[in-house]
Amino acid sequence: MGSDSVASLRGVKLVYHEPSRETLAVDGLDLEVKRGEFLSIVGPSGCGKTSVLSLITGLLTPSEGSVEVLGVSPAEARGRIGYMLQRDALLDWRTIERNVLLGLEVKRALTPESRSRALALLDKYGLGDFRRHYPAELSGGMRQKAALIRTLAAEPELLLLDEPFSALDYQTRILLEDEVRSIIKQGGYTAVLVTHDIAEAICMSDRVVVFSGRPARVKRSVGIDLAGTAFERRSRAGFGALFDLIWKELREE
């Protein structure tokens, strides 16, 4: 494994055991995430995408194969990985500011410097005026952005996003995609995004990995070299061809 690899999964198999059955969710999966890369995962519903993210965060351990994150095991890397869930899971009794500081608090890394760095993120991404507001007072898009800033404030070395926009309306979604991509690219973060939306995957990431149906394997990896912001990418000449390519791979499942 090269030093530019942030996460590496080799021959990974994952079985869920329940009293009534066992489910083979992932089988023979090889996946490599490089430093600074923005990777998207698309795949049929229920194929095992969330399971793969849980393997990377160490919430689950593989039945077979190995998972290495930041050069160590996922358990040892905990706290260096940021995980953003589909629902924002903001703590509704905390102000936005205190929500954003949660990760630092938990890591006992809340110093005046780390605090002002975290709060600067709120200002930078347009939530500065809302720092004393409660989550219930924010729109869905703003809440999701606050959740992203909370994830970023803990200064993760790897960012995992599980369908972060799927609960939002279309317009908010397009705007936020644009914003999140520029936040991630400007910050030089390494990110893995799980999505159902092919267009979203193409306009946000550097590489799209198509998963097979359950059990999840990597079926195809497609490099995306379109210029511009997420929004501009939608109207680039190559966009349609990439969309067709990925759509065909998915449809075969």
Partner 1 sequence: MSREHMEYLKKLKRGRRLTAAVRILLLALLLGLWEASGRLGLADPFIVSSPSRVVSTALRLYESHDLFPHILTTFYETVVGFVSGTAIGVAAAVLLWFSPFLRRVLDPYLVVLNALPKIALGPILIVWVGAGPGAIIVMALLVSTVVTVMSVLSGFTEQGREREELMRTLGASRLQTFMKAVLPASVPTIMSALKISVGMSWVGVIVGEYLVSKRGLGYLIVYGGQVFKLDLVMASIVILCVLAAIMYYAVAAFEKRIDKRFGRE
Q: What does the DSSP 8-state code read for residue 194?
A: E
DSSP 121: H
Select the binding partner of residue 135 from partner 1, Mg ion, ligand ATP, none (C-beta < 5 to 8 A, by kind): none
93, 126, 139, 232: residue in contact with partner 1 (rule CB under 8 A): 93
Largest CA distance in the chain: 53
Tokens standing for 88?
């924002």
192 is an interface residue for ligand ATP by CB under 6 A: no
Residue 57 binds to Mg ion (criterion: CB under 5 A): no
The distance of closest approach from Cβ of residue 163 to Mg ion in the complex, given in angstroms and rounded to an integer, is 6
Residue with tokens 């102000």: 95
Structure tokens at 147: 């959740």
Among residues 50 and 190, whose Cβ is nearest to Mg ion? Answer: 50
| 240 interacts with, out of ligand ATP, Mg ion, partner 1, none, CB within 5 to 8 A per kind | none
- Residue whose CB is less far from ligand ATP, 47 or 119: 47
Which of 8, 37, 42, 48 contacts ligand ATP by CB under 6 A?
48
Residue 46, binding choice from Mg ion, partner 1, ligand ATP, none, Cβ under 5 to 8 Å by partner class: ligand ATP
7: left (phi over 0), alpha (psi -120 to 50) or beta: beta
Q: Is residue 171 involved in binding ligand ATP (CB under 6 A)? A: no
What CA–CA distance (Å, rounded) separates 138 from 86? 17
Q: Measured between alpha carbons, how far is 64 from 44 in angstroms, rounded to an integer?
A: 23
- Choosing from 214, 217, 233, 234, the residue that interacts with ligand ATP (CB under 6 A) is 214
Instruction: Enter the tokens of residue 102.
Output: 């949660």
Q: Could you give the CA distance from residue 192 to residue 82 in angstroms, rounded to a whole number?
A: 10
- Give the range of 28-36, 104-112, 122-130, 191-199 binding partner 1 by CB under 8 A: 104-112
19: left (phi over 0), alpha (psi -120 to 50) or beta: alpha
50 lies in the site for Mg ion, by CB under 5 A: yes
Min. distance of Cβ 212 from Mg ion in angstroms? 15
Which residues touch 235 (CB under 8 Å, ≥6 apart)?
none
**Residue numbers 2-41 binding ligand ATP by CB under 6 A:** 16, 18, 23, 25
The nearest distance, CB 91 to partner 1, in angstroms, is: 6
Q: Specify the 3-state DSSP secondary structure of 192.
A: strand
Residue 182 contact, options partner 1, ligand ATP, Mg ion, none, Cβ 5-8 Å cut-off depending on partner type? none
Total residues in contact with partner 1, by rule CB under 8 A: 21
Contacts of 49 (CB under 8 A, 6+ apart): 41, 43, 162, 194, 211, 216
Residues found near partner 1 in the complex (CB under 8 A):
57, 59, 78-79, 81-83, 85, 87, 89, 91, 93-95, 102-103, 105-107, 134, 154
Q: Which residues bind Mg ion (CB under 5 A)?
A: 50
